[in-house]
Structure 1
Amino acid sequence: MIRENHDVVIVGGGVVGCALAHGMLGRGKRALVLDGGDCDPRASKANFGLVGAYGKGYGAPRYQQLSRESVALWSAFAAALHDETGIDVEYENDGCLRFCLSGADFEEEAEFLASWNAQSPKIDPCSRMIDRSALERLLPGTRLGREVVGAGIGVADGHCNPLKLLRALQQAIELRGGTLAGNHTVSKIEPCPDGSFRVHVQTSTGPRCFETGQLIIAAGLGSTALGAMVALDVPLRPLRGQLLVTERLEPILRLPASGIRQTRDGTVMIGVSHEEVGMDLGTTTFTAARMTKRALRILPDLAMARLVRHWACLRIITPDEHPVYAQSSTYPGAWIALCHSGITLAAVHAGPVADALARNVLPENFEFFHHRRFDVSQVI
């Protein structure tokens, strides 16, 4: 069996794992990223590409603050990736919308937004409501459906190309001297008496073993089984999201919105559903019809567009839908990092979180994100 030694081994080659690796490599760590097979249920396959804090962390101010911190870092993060790799991740932050299709919807959204903003009273509100006339001024050339009465807007929010983001992070990892090993499925994590870890993997050419003093599990839905090997028991459930994409169109929507956005190349993405169906990655005409019906109520000009693809992915959801960052109390040096907002949080993962993990700690005020909050015995 071939053995290699690295300062840190990150299990999971999605946006979360690659952002952490990118940041830790920039702080002098020799990092290895182990990624599974192409058929694994990757959340990155159907990410909508929104970069925003709007609505995140309702009832959890610390998560709201973390999202806003990452949004504030995103412009510099995207520019640095472009300088380093030459890859434009197509980041724009002119705002992100939540369309309201009735007066009742508008009032409900306004009430939600007021409560959400009130969670951080010392921070300037970053989201507000706008009526239809203001929305039309904001979107010149867009023909809105007659039912659109207004929208909520996250004024600092935006979107990017999530596939280009992942590609840029992977290229930057290699440029910084890191290693990204695909089709390396972790079969066992073995804590050693000296405090190090042996990570056993299966590859097409046989078994391999990697030794490390620090281990970070960021393997999405696979993190439940892997975390249990180092006493990091985090309850997770899959949540299916279906997505549709149209042919390329002339610009019809300047700003992205929840459930509908036009990409830089002209395609329009429609989605995303929230379905409790276990590990089922299938698609359904019922959900596609529901999503397209709503999209047409917002942008009637979509009626003439051809749909070219329909697919689904599985999101990573914790019981309270908030991220988890924690170190094993039984096996120090083993960490877990999980969230379903990997695109929005990529900037903070590559920045302050990676900086702290390079010192084998977490940033200050991260206690809220520990998985012990799910321990019923402690709550009681």
Structure 2
Amino acid sequence: MSDRFDASTRIAESATTSLPDLGAMEADYAIIGGSIVGLSIAWGLLKRGRRVLVLDGDDGSFRASRGNFGLVWVQGKGLKQPAYARWTQKSAAAWADFSAELGESTGYNLALQQAGGYDFYFDEESLEQRVAEFETLKKELGGDYPFEVLRHNELKREEPNIGPRVAGAILHHQDGHLNPLRLLKSLADDVRRMGGTVKCGVPVKRISKRDLFEIEAEDGTIYAAPKFVLSAGLGAMDLGPQLGFSAPIRPQRGQVLITEKLPKMMNRPSGIIRQVDEGSVQIGDSKEEVGLDDRVTLETASAIAARAVAVYPDLAKAKLVRSWGALRIMSPDGFPIYQESSTTPGAFLVTCHSGITLAAAHARYLPAWLDGSDQAPNLEVFSEQRFAIS
């Protein structure tokens, strides 16, 4: 762990020509962001023998990891960018082993199920339009895009509780879901078990680089490391430009409803309804451009509830016990950003809105990219350069 310096000590020592130690040799990487993305990266770096310090914000921070839908989702990803579809598939394929290893190490059952997932449609025209898009993507992926179209009667055999208004669904066989809170807890526990340091309640206000990256917390504490990963979600909007990143991200609100625990009523999840392992039904989702506002609104909650009832009419009798709003981290095109700073080498920006789906890739493959390994995935298509105006 880093030595601690009060403000007066830092000012005095900054007048000298030598850099204070700051505990640099105790961490190879400092990671800002202790949620799913940051902890997945930390986990993977520790597996590569790196020493890791994770700094997480306080309870006032926006936290998509605690408000997401818990999906490991492939379908619909990368319709306009096949590289994103491949990256998503690569992560989904790694999830079974990743989940098993976390469970063996920590004792947590992540409740991972990857038996496919649905995209429901209320009219044939919309369904056919999406099928055409999927067929195009399937060709671009060399046929590796396993989905099938279920018309109402076929869907009814798979999901007997489906409502009469549902025209059909696309069943994608690489999709699944899990318990995201157990994932968050297991990652934090396993990172600590492997020797990583996770410090909570450490909002960061400033990052600079001399010989090392110096990270100044709001309480004046300084942390340092030779390499640095910014995976702070929406916090990157303010912190990214300090290291030369444009960090062109924005919040997008999604609202979620939770029912009481119910008898099993669905066999597979969808992007708008899923029954969790404990029996409750989770209902979403909304896509609202409202800035940094994560409140629940009656209008949106009513709309997503009505849609859920149209899909599964029995939900009309269920009691709602919880609701919340959470903010996605969105880039202009919706794809992840993986970028090493052009002005401050050794600083990396990692941000995405699919932290659950991509957790396995961030743990298994992204650390090789951070280390500059020959085995690193080619992530150039996800750099910030795609947003540059020529």
Q: Which of the five TM-score ranges fits, normalised by the shorter chain?
A: over 0.9
Q: Which amino acid in 2 is paired with 1:164?
A: R
CA contact (8 A) 1:113 1:128 kept: no
1:16-64 Cα distance to aligned partner (Å, 9 max, x none): 0000000001111110110001121111121101101111011111111
- The TM-score normalised by the length of structure 2 is 0.92
Aligned to 2:23: 4
2:39 and 2:191 in contact (8 A); partners too? yes
Q: Distance in 1 between matches of 2:253 and 2:358?
A: 21
SS at match of 2:130: helix
The CA distance in 2 between the partners of 1:76 and 1:276, in whole Å, is: 36
The structure-2 alpha-carbon separation of the partners of 1:214 and 1:361, relative to structure 1 and needing over 3 Å to count, comes to farther
Q: Does 1:106 align with 2:127?
A: yes
Match of residue 264 from structure 1: 277
How far 1:107 moved relative to its partner?
1.7
Which ranges in structure 1 are unaligned for 5 or more consecutive residues?
Answer: none
Q: CA deviation at 1:134?
A: 2.3
CA RMSD of aligned residues (A): 1.4
The answer to whether 1:67 aligns with 2:95 is no
> What SS class does the counterpart of residue 368 from structure 2 fall into?
helix
Quote how far apart the aligned CAs of 1:125 are: 2.2
**CA offset digits 1:243-270 (Å, max 9, x no partner):** 1000000000110011000001010011
Q: CA offset at residue 303 of structure 1?
A: 0.9
Counterpart of 1:175 in structure 2 is 193
1:256 partner SS: coil
Which residue pairs with 2:213 in the alignment? 197
3-state secondary structure, aligned to 1:355: helix
1:137 matched to 2:153? The reply is no
What does residue 118 of structure 2 align with? 97
Question: Could you say which residue in structure 1 is the equivalent of 2:309?
Answer: 296
**TM-score normalised to the size of structure 1?**
0.94
Is the contact between residue 366 and residue 377 of structure 2 (CA under 8 Å) also seen in structure 1? no
For each residue in 1:345-366, what CA deviation from the matched residue of structure 2 results, as whole angstroms up to 9, or x when unmatched?
A: 0000000112332347893421
Q: Distance in 2 between matches of 1:207 and 1:351?
A: 34
Contact persistence 1:31–1:179 (CA under 8 A): yes
- Are residues 1:228 and 2:257 paired? no
Percent identity of equivalent pairs: 38
Q: 1:29, 1:358 within 8 Å by CA — same for their partners in 2?
A: no
- Deviation of 1:143 (Å): 1.5
Q: Is contact 1:333–1:360 with CA below 8 Å preserved after alignment? A: no
User: What is the identity, as a one-letter code, of the residue corresponding to 2:192?
Assistant: E
Aligned to 1:166: 184
Q: In the TM superposition, what is the alpha-carbon distance from 1:208 to its structure 2 partner?
A: 1.3
Q: Please say if 1:368 is aligned against 2:357.
A: no
Distance (whole Å) between structure 2 residues aligned to residue 33 and residue 332 of structure 1: 19
Q: Which amino acid aligns with 2:222?
A: C
**Cα distance in structure 2, aligned partners of 1:32 and 1:38:** 19
For 2:299 and 2:136, the matched residues in 1 are separated by 33
- What residue identity is the alignment partner of 1:106? L
Of the candidates 33, 52, 60, which is equivalent to residue 54 of structure 2?
A: 33
The partner residue of 1:249 within 262, 284, 294 is 262
Stretches of structure 2 lacking an aligned partner (at least 5 in a row): 6-21
Question: Residue 247 of structure 1 contacts residue 305 of structure 1 at CA under 8 Å; is this kept in 2?
Answer: yes
For 2:151 and 2:29, how far apart are their aligned partners in 1?
50
Matching residue of 1:157: 175
Q: 2:68 aligns with which of 47, 68, 88?
A: 47
Are 1:36 and 1:182, in contact at CA under 8 Å, matched by a contact in 2? yes
Q: Aligned with 1:148: secondary structure?
A: coil
In 1, Cα distance between the equivalents of 2:46 and 2:227?
Answer: 13
Work out the number of aligned pairs and report it.
Answer: 369
Q: CA deviation at 1:317?
A: 0.5
- 1:82 Cα deviation after fit: 0.5
Inter-partner Cα distance in structure 2 for 1:260 and 1:248? 14
Q: What's 1:352 paired with?
A: 365
Q: Distance in 1 between matches of 2:31 and 2:375?
A: 16
